[in-house]
């Protein structure tokens, strides 16, 4: 793969990226990332479920204040992935809002984001982490299972769609 001119000038590969905490200044690009990642599944979501997944500016700002949100930023400064996590009890963390746009799949971004949020939650005393996903996201389910998450028996309603819980011991 040929390096881009900007990456060559910076001495980095165009596939390199860093994980860092998100700020309110990142809100617009996080929303773009979420929309790009979930656009292929839009027709399989209820309208309310899709809106909750890709969020509005207001719900994203609420999330930025209520949990830790991380972003993956490539060598050109573009956000190429995001994930959120919060401590929900003395021993459990919860992952929410993981997204990597399709053009960035297969580059290790999702793995690094997941590792980073798990490390963050473990550092706050969590010994297990949960997440929820929906039926259309079969690729995501395989990813989570490959990385130690196990499907629980808990399935709840997510705006008229089944919401499936996964759990992992840290």
Domain count, the chain: 1
| Distant-in-sequence, close-in-space partners of 130: CB < 8 Å, separation ≥ 6 | 88, 92, 93, 94, 95, 152, 165, 166, 167, 168
Supply the CATH number for residue 81's domain.
Answer: 3.40.630.30
What is the domain range of residue 132? 17-169
Q: Is there a domain that residue 1 lies in?
A: no
In a domain, 5, yes or no: no
Residue-wise pLDDT tens for the chain (170 aa)? 333 333 333 344 556 899 999 999 999 999 999 999 999 999 999 999 999 999 999 999 999 999 999 999 999 999 999 999 999 999 999 999 999 999 999 999 999 999 999 999 999 999 999 999 999 999 999 999 999 999 999 999 999 999 999 999 99
Q: Looking at the domain assignment, is residue 95 inside a domain? A: yes
Global confidence as pTM: 0.90
* Residue 42 counted as domain residue: yes
Report yes or no on 8 lying in a domain. Answer: no
Q: Is residue 72 part of a domain?
A: yes
Residue 11 located in a structural domain = no
Q: CA dist 29 to 13, 93, 128, Å?
A: 22, 25, 30
Q: Does residue 12 fall inside a structural domain?
A: no
């Amino acid at each position: 793969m040929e390096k881009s001119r900007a990456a060559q000038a910076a001495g980095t590969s165009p596939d390199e990226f860093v994980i860092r905490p998100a700020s309110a200044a990142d809100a617009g690009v996080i929303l773009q990332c979420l929309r790009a990642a979930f656009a292929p599944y839009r027709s399989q979501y209820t309208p309310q479920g899709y809106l909750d997944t890709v969020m509005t500016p207001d719900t994203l700002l609420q999330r930025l204040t209520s949990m830790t949100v991380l972003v993956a930023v490539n060598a050109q400064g573009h956000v190429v992935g995001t994930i959120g996590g919060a401590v929900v009890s003395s021993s459990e963390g919860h992952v929410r809002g993981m997204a990597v746009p399709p053009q960035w799949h297969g580059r290790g971004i999702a793995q690094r984001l997941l590792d980073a949020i798990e490390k963050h939650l473990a550092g706050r005393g969590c010994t297990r982490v949960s997440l929820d996903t929906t039926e259309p996201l079969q690729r995501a389910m395989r990813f989570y299972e490959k990385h130690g998450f196990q499907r629980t028996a808990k399935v709840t309603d997510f705006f008229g769609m089944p919401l499936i819980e996964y759990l992992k011991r840290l």
